[in-house]
Structure 1
């Protein structure tokens, strides 16, 4: 067998075996690696390269070495599940770097981080003042987790006592100027609806880079030409405004009549309509 053909076969065998071993090790090796997995990854890569190019030795020697190195993270992961001590050794522990707005310099040194490194990590979390931080921890993965002080945390609808509709994933119905039928069917829509919406927006289908439909049935468009502006859907806001106007009219009618029976009817209808408005407001005003 020619040497080049032997190398080709060895390379394919090495690639296929590495793929199998990666599936055995799991997604963690790809997503987030520990010290052990980092060592194993380098070693496996070196062995696979040697296996593909070293044509003198038998191929099964390299396969045995690859298997042994691949089993290390699997074994350690199993031991980590059984023992917290092993888990602390293999994965490490989180380190507090900031507590109550004060940087813990000794912990910063133990993580071999400079002040500039810490400030950079904070900026990546949209934090620019150390004094605003309640806690900041360096996770075992190397990521920085930041908890702001209560007075500096973003205001949420819950803080204001507001009800909002649950966030749901929009359906992409147009991509690269092509209508996608399956997402349309998931929303109970069809191509005729899309064409009608595009006609209302004054946009040609081939000019649409991306089109998405939310739960309320509103179509949002992104065009190839970024200079062109597409009017945002306002049907829901108009519906809300119409309901508010009707409720205001009922109150006005109640104030304008002298008939007590009619006045009570208008006031009751106004209160019932207000309940409907409060219920649908999170859905209409988004």
Structure 2
């Protein structure tokens, strides 16, 4: 073996060794809790029953100011409110508040609450997004009706979202402008249009021929009524 070949072989061995060490260390960490503690370290209790463990602070070389800073990052400003706080091997502080200082939840009151779904963005940069509208079972006609209730047009909307309750909120291009409240007569017109749009949706969504025909006829009647009263309600 020449000197060059020997150097290449040693280089390959070094690369394989460097790659194998982290792999083996990770494998041993999964298999052995003691080895994992040696490699990754263990958590250190900083607060117990609302009292600071000074010896552990000194051991980890943390000052009281640094502990208070970590607590503030967790929105905790009083040590006595803390039941348990531990410094994780990653350097993060895990905090458990005392029961009386924890936020009240629906579970505490034995209340059942509806699942909140993520809001759907239906308008972006003044353009309607059809896919999110379809996801929530709404149509363009419904969206335009909701915008009319707010007294704005698509072109003025930078971002529009529909929450899990079916409510539309918009952010306008001009942040100085406030979304105006809909006036009474335009609101009536918008409601009529919404009802007409809902009837069309019902007609498209049902397989029952009689129901489909009934929805279609009523939708047409309501559309004619809208055309008659629109000049009055728009003023």
Q: Give me the TM-score of the superposition, normalised by structure 2.
A: 0.66
**Please, what is the CA RMSD of the aligned residues?**
2.7
For residues 57-111 of structure 1, give each alpha carbon's deviation from its aligned partner in whole angstroms, at most 9, with x where no partner exists: x999878755543443332222111111111112221111000111101111222
Compared CA separation, residues 118 and 203, structure 1 to 2 (3 A): same
Contact 1:220 1:232 in 2 (8 A): no
Cα deviation, residue 160, structure 1: 2.7
Looking at structure 1, the residues matched to 11 and 168 of structure 2 have their Cα atoms a distance apart, in angstroms, of 57
The number of aligned residues is 176
Contact 1:136 1:146 in 2 (8 A): yes
Cα deviation, residue 159, structure 1: 2.1
Partner of 2:44: 95
Matched residue of 2:30: which SS?
helix
Looking at structure 1, the residues matched to 147 and 116 of structure 2 have their Cα atoms a distance apart, in angstroms, of 25
Matches within 5 A, 1:195-214: 195-214=144-163
For residues 222-254 of structure 1, give each alpha carbon's deviation from its aligned partner in whole angstroms, at most 9, with x where no partner exists: 233333333799xxxxxxxxxxxxxxxxxxxxx
Looking at structure 2, the residues matched to 232 and 121 of structure 1 have their Cα atoms a distance apart, in angstroms, of 44
Matched residue of 1:113: which SS?
coil
Compared CA separation, residues 186 and 149, structure 1 to 2 (3 A): same
Looking at structure 1, the residues matched to 151 and 9 of structure 2 have their Cα atoms a distance apart, in angstroms, of 66
For residues 192-227 of structure 1, give each alpha carbon's deviation from its aligned partner in whole angstroms, at most 9, with x where no partner exists: 222221121122323323222123321122233333
**1:125 is the counterpart of 2:70:** no
Contact 2:116 2:164 in 1 (8 A): no
Q: Give me the TM-score of the superposition, normalised by structure 1.
A: 0.55
Contact 2:150 2:179 in 1 (8 A): yes
